[in-house]
């Protein structure tokens, strides 16, 4: 599973990431979530700036707290929160037990993915909260794949 998660991150590097790209990605996530009646909150950031946020019916303020905790893992490790948690589990431990980070501030549960740009590395994050962690992660990956593969979806600035 670790190699699959690493391959996703290697494959999902964008040519650039503008405000318009954040809007396109965010609205794509909203559409996918609505199609599935998924009670999620969505957050997209570039650095410290929040570029997109949406809370769909059935989500709550708890989802916003989970977003913050999962996003901090991406910011700290430069990898998806699901990959970080999976690596700890593969070592026979948990993130909470072994990371030495405050579990009230960090959560290595699936749903936050690095926004990486060619030549710049990780410049932000996209996070979903409200589903089981593997489903949160899969929703983000699906949206990033559609964004990257759709002609003209990721526009030049």
Mind listing the pLDDT tens digit of every residue in the chain (157 residues)? 999 999 999 999 999 999 999 999 999 999 999 999 999 999 999 999 999 999 999 999 999 999 999 999 999 999 999 999 999 999 999 999 999 999 999 999 999 999 999 999 999 999 999 999 999 999 999 999 999 987 555 444 3
Q: Note if the pTM is more than 0.85.
A: yes
pLDDT at 60: 97
CA distances from 126 to 7, 91, 96, 139 (A): 17, 26, 22, 11
pLDDT at 155: 46
Q: Which long-range contacts (CB under 8 A, 24 or more apart) does 62-68 make?
A: 63/129, 63/130, 64/129, 66/107, 66/109, 66/111, 66/129, 67/41, 67/43, 67/111, 67/112, 67/127, 67/128, 67/129, 68/105
Cβ–Cβ under 8 Å, residues 82 and 123: no
Task: Specify whether domain 2-149 bears CATH 3.30.70.141.
Answer: no
pLDDT at 51: 98
- The CA dihedral of 139, 141, 143, 144, to the nearest 10 degrees, is 160
pLDDT at 157: 38
* 46, β-bridge pairs: 49, 124
Radius of gyration for the alpha carbons in the chain, expressed in angstroms and rounded = 15
Of 109, 104, 60, 62, residue with least CA distance to 81: 109
Residue 150 burial (C-beta neighbours within 10 Å; 0-12, 13-18, 19+): exposed
pLDDT at 151: 54
pLDDT at 149: 84
């Amino acid at each position: 599973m670790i190699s699959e998660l690493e391959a996703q991150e290697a494959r999902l590097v964008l040519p650039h990431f503008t405000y318009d790209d954040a809007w396109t990605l965010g609205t794509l996530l909203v559409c996918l979530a609505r199609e599935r009646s998924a009670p999620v909150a969505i957050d997209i950031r570039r650095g410290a700036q929040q570029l997109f946020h949406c809370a769909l019916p059935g989500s709550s303020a708890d989802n916003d707290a989970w977003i913050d905790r999962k996003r901090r893992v991406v910011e700290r490790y430069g990898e998806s929160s699901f990959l970080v948690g999976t690596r700890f589990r593969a070592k026979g431990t948990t993130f909470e037990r072994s990371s030495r980070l405050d579990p009230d501030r960090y959560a290595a549960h699936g749903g936050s993915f690095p926004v990486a740009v060619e030549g710049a590395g990780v410049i932000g994050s996209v996070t979903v909260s409200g589903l089981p962690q593997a489903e949160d992660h899969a929703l983000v990956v699906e949206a990033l794949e559609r964004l990257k593969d759709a002609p003209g979806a990721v526009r030049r600035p």
